[in-house]
């Protein structure tokens, strides 16, 4: 595979770096790093964390001191939008700079999906590699692994993985915590592989003799499902998909945040002497929410609140490690989320019962999956103490699709012509030097309905989808009629499409114009 050599040598080279006592560099910082022009870059990407889920974005029923401090040290963005209202298409867009609607097979991926971004595609990691950075993907992946759907041999080196997409290092969950295989993958291989328990995965049928949530509810000792999630049982929790084996490689949900954080810190430590880029995608606050004992039972909102606190802890650990190594001044941290919030996403974790007056999407309507703003508007923070003034708020209209081009501009990476074409360079906005709105942004709902946001308007294309998302029981925002909302009142309530046909027409033209661009990577994943 194209980047395997780089991947191997990247890890080896870092292991050979001289060890500098941390105390020598603390406080004043690491001069060689802090004098460098280009910062280290860490994208902390939460899962299903809503606009209203953090204290610094208005939450009052959960404490998020570490995230609050991060926001205070830089810019709190109040108008940032994920590319889609679900994980896979959002991440696809963030990492490739190309809207997921251009590409078949970019919907919520199964745990045994083949790798959706293909090795020949340009990614944000390639950009950083071009600029001489060490690169890593740690945490939730959800973009497929291996060459083909369903044909992975989980007991051997996977033939295709993030190492083929510009990431020198990866320690990832193949999909989500609620999907098999329930193991971490490190450098293309199951981490802590257990030879005594070979792994098999299927999304078609169960393996003979293996219990399932459907047939053996008595074995669901950690969490019971509220909808779906009734196939294989791992750690007393029913999952989507079947698996057999795994043994000591199987994750324990309560330790996932610790594992992800430890591996992220390990990467920082190994690369402290050179510029690095890390895509740090947490499992929090996706279902199944089953945080560590340290957090469990501490929040009035139950496991969902505990998971937010656990996310905050991860952020604190990363920041503290950067400080300890003297890297904090010249590290740019972007914190955001892949899509809006959901309360009941399939497990009986009492998130609905204990929500109280907490508003996961803040003032916005609906949440994850939806075409309303709650589906895609997300909290976002940028902090780079060396360059970005502390204590700012920006209400600039921003889409995560632009982070690839903006960060490439920051580190002087060259983007080959004809790739990542949806990503625009808005670096000055990202760094708080101006508050320029993107002229318009596109948002994709779970059923592919496309919405357009401008500062003033939100247009939702007509859709035949159901009005309510089954399971979470949330408003989808789908309607056979075109919808137009004046965003001066953020809770999209009064459809004014009829009153403003000119605006509707303009918004539809934006969508047509974007769709007409097509994709340079038109071929779908090989099946
Ligand atoms: C849904 C799952 C939900 C979650 C979602 C993906 C059921 C009933 N629901 O199909 O629990 O996994 O997919 O979430 O299975 S995402 O944030 O990764 O897009
Ligand atoms: Ca998500």
How many angstroms separate the CA atoms of 497 and 486, rounded?
10
Calculate mean pLDDT across residues 259-278.
98
Calculate mean pLDDT across residues 227-253.
98
Are 84 and 96 in contact, with CB atoms under 8 Å apart?
A: no
Cα 111 to ligand 2 centre (Å): 14
Calculate mean pLDDT across residues 68-97.
98
Are 281 and 137 in contact, with CB atoms under 8 Å apart?
A: yes
Question: pLDDT tens digits for 118-165?
Answer: 999 999 999 999 999 999 999 999 999 999 999 999 999 999 999 999
Question: pLDDT tens digits for 11-37?
Answer: 333 333 333 344 444 445 777 777 778
Nearest CA to ligand 1 atom 17: 87
Q: Enumerate the β-bridge partners of residue 45.
A: 281, 336
Nearest by Cα to 176 from 263, 256, 259, 95 = 256
Calculate mean pLDDT across residues 82-91.
98
Are 97 and 404 in contact, with CB atoms under 8 Å apart?
A: yes
Is the distance from the beta carbon of residue 444 to the nearest atom of ligand 1 less than 6 Å?
no
Residue where the block lists tokens 């919405």: 451
Calculate mean pLDDT across residues 414-438.
97
Q: How many CB atoms lie within 10 A of CB 128?
A: 29
Nearest CA to ligand 1 atom 7: 228
Supply angle C-alpha 356, 354, 288, rounded to 5: 130
Q: Enumerate the β-bridge partners of residue 331.
A: 40
Q: Which pLDDT value is given to residue 189?
A: 98
Are 479 and 461 in contact, with CB atoms under 8 Å apart?
A: no
The pair of structure tokens assigned to 61 is 């029923």
Residue 347 has pLDDT above 60, yes or no: yes
Question: pLDDT tens digits for 471-509?
Answer: 999 999 999 999 999 999 999 999 999 999 999 999 999
Nearest by Cα to 226 from 134, 281, 289 = 289
Averaged pLDDT of the chain:
93
Is the distance from the beta carbon of residue 287 to the nearest atom of ligand 1 less than 6 Å?
yes
Nearest CA to ligand 1 atom 11: 345
Cα 470 to ligand 1 centre (Å): 11
pLDDT band at 5 (very low <50, low <70, confident <90, very high): very low
Q: Which atom of ligand 1 is nearest to the CA of 108?
A: 19
Q: Which pLDDT value is given to residue 114?
A: 98
How many angstroms separate the CA atoms of 468 and 463, rounded?
13
Longest dimension (CA), the chain: 68
Cα 342 to ligand 2 centre (Å): 9
Q: Enumerate the β-bridge partners of residue 171.
A: 138, 186
Are 476 and 492 in contact, with CB atoms under 8 Å apart?
A: no
How many angstroms separate the CA atoms of 470 and 477, rounded?
13
Supply the pTM of this predicted model. Answer: 0.94
Cα 453 to ligand 1 centre (Å): 25
Least confident segment among 4-8, 224-228, 410-414, 429-433: 4-8
The pair of structure tokens assigned to 106 is 């970019």
Q: What DSSP assignment string belongs to 390-405?
A: TTEEE---EEGGGHHH
Cα 179 to ligand 1 centre (Å): 9
Chain centroid to Cα 187, Å, comes to 20
Supply angle C-alpha 162, 167, 171, rounded to 5: 65
Calculate mean pLDDT across residues 302-314.
98
Is the distance from the beta carbon of residue 289 to the nearest atom of ligand 1 less than 6 Å?
no
Chain centroid to Cα 251, Å, comes to 20
How many angstroms separate the CA atoms of 438 and 510, rounded?
13
Ligand nearest to the CA of 281: 2
Phi, psi of 253 (to 5 degrees): -55, -35
Q: Which pLDDT value is given to residue 522?
A: 55
Least confident segment among 16-25, 268-277, 433-442: 16-25
Is the distance from the beta carbon of residue 178 to the nearest atom of ligand 1 less than 6 Å?
yes
Q: Could you tell me the strand order of the sheet in which 483-486 lies?
A: 441-444, 450-453, 457-460, 483-486
Is the distance from the beta carbon of residue 86 to the nearest atom of ligand 1 less than 6 Å?
yes
Residue 267: strand, helix, or coil: helix
Q: What percent of the chain has pLDDT over 70?
A: 93
pLDDT band at 518 (very low <50, low <70, confident <90, very high): confident
As residues whose CB is below 5 A from the ion ligand 2, the structure lists 47-48, 87, 338-339
Is the distance from the beta carbon of residue 142 to the nearest atom of ligand 1 less than 6 Å?
yes
Q: Which pLDDT value is given to residue 31?
A: 75
Cα 473 to ligand 2 centre (Å): 17
Nearest by Cα to 227 from 345, 340, 349, 111 = 345
Q: Which atom of ligand 1 is nearest to the CA of 338?
A: 17
How many angstroms separate the CA atoms of 501 and 499, rounded?
6
Cα 91 to ligand 2 centre (Å): 9
Residue 303 has pLDDT above 90, yes or no: yes
Chain centroid to Cα 494, Å, comes to 31
Are 388 and 428 in contact, with CB atoms under 8 Å apart?
A: no
């Amino acid at each position: 595979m194209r980047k395997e050599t780089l991947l191997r040598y990247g890890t080896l080279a870092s292991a050979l770096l001289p060890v500098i006592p941390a105390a020598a560099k603390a406080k004043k910082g690491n001069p060689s790093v802090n004098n460098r022009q280009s910062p280290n870059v860490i994208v902390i990407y939460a899962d299903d964390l809503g606009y209203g889920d953090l204290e610094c974005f208005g939450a009052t029923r959960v404490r998020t001191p570490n995230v609050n401090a991060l926001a205070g040290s830089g810019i709190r963005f109040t108008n940032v939008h994920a590319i889609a209202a679900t994980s896979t298409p959002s991440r696809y867009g963030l990492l490739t700079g190309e809207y997921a609607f251009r590409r078949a097979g970019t919907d919520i991926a199964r745990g045994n999906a083949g790798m959706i971004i293909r090795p020949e595609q340009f990614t944000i990691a390639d950009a950083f590699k071009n600029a001489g950075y060490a690169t890593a993907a740690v945490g939730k992946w959800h973009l497929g692994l291996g060459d083909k759907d369903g044909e992975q041999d989980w007991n051997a080196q996977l033939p295709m993985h993030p190492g083929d997409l510009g990431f020198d290092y990866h320690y990832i969950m193949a999909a989500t915590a609620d999907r098999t295989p329930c193991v971490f993958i490190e450098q293309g291989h199951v981490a802590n592989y257990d030879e005594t328990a070979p792994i098999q995965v299927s999304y078609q049928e169960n393996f003979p003799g293996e219990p399932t949530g459907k047939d053996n509810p008595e074995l669901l000792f950690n969490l019971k499902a509220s909808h779906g999630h009734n196939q294989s049982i791992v750690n007393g929790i029913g999952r989507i998909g079947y698996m057999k084996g795994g043994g000591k490689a199987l994750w324990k949900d309560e330790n996932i945040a610790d594992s992800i954080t430890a591996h992220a810190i390990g990467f920082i430590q190994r690369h402290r002497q050179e510029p690095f880029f890390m895509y740090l995608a947490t499992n929090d606050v996706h279902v199944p929410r089953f945080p560590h004992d340290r957090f469990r039972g501490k929040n009035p909102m139950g496991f969902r609140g505990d998971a937010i606190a656990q996310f905050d802890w991860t952020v604190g650990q990363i920041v503290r490690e950067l400080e300890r190594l003297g890297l904090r001044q010249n590290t740019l941290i972007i914190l955001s989320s892949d899509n809006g919030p959901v309360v009941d996403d399939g497990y009986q974790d009492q998130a609905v019962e204990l929500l109280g007056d907490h508003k996961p999407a803040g003032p916005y309507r609906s949440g994850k999956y939806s075409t309303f703003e709650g589906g895609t508007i997300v909290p976002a923070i940028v902090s780079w103490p060396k360059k970005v003034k502390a204590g700012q708020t920006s209400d600039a209209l921003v889409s995560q699709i632009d982070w690839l081009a903006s960060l490439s501009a920051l580190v002087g990476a060259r983007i080959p012509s004809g790739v990542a074409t949806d990503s625009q360079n808005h670096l000055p906005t990202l760094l708080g030097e101006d508050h320029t709105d993107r002229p318009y942004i596109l948002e994709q709902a779970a059923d592919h309905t496309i919405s357009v946001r401008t500062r003033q308007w939100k247009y939702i294309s007509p859709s035949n989808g159901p009005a309510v998302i089954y399971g979470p029981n949330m408003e989808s925002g789908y309607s056979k009629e075109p919808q137009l909302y004046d965003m001066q009142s953020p809770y999209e309530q009064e459809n004014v499409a009829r009153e403003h046909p000119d605006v509707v027409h303009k918004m539809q033209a934006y969508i047509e114009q974007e769709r007409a661009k097509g994709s340079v990577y038109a071929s779908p994943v090989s099946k």
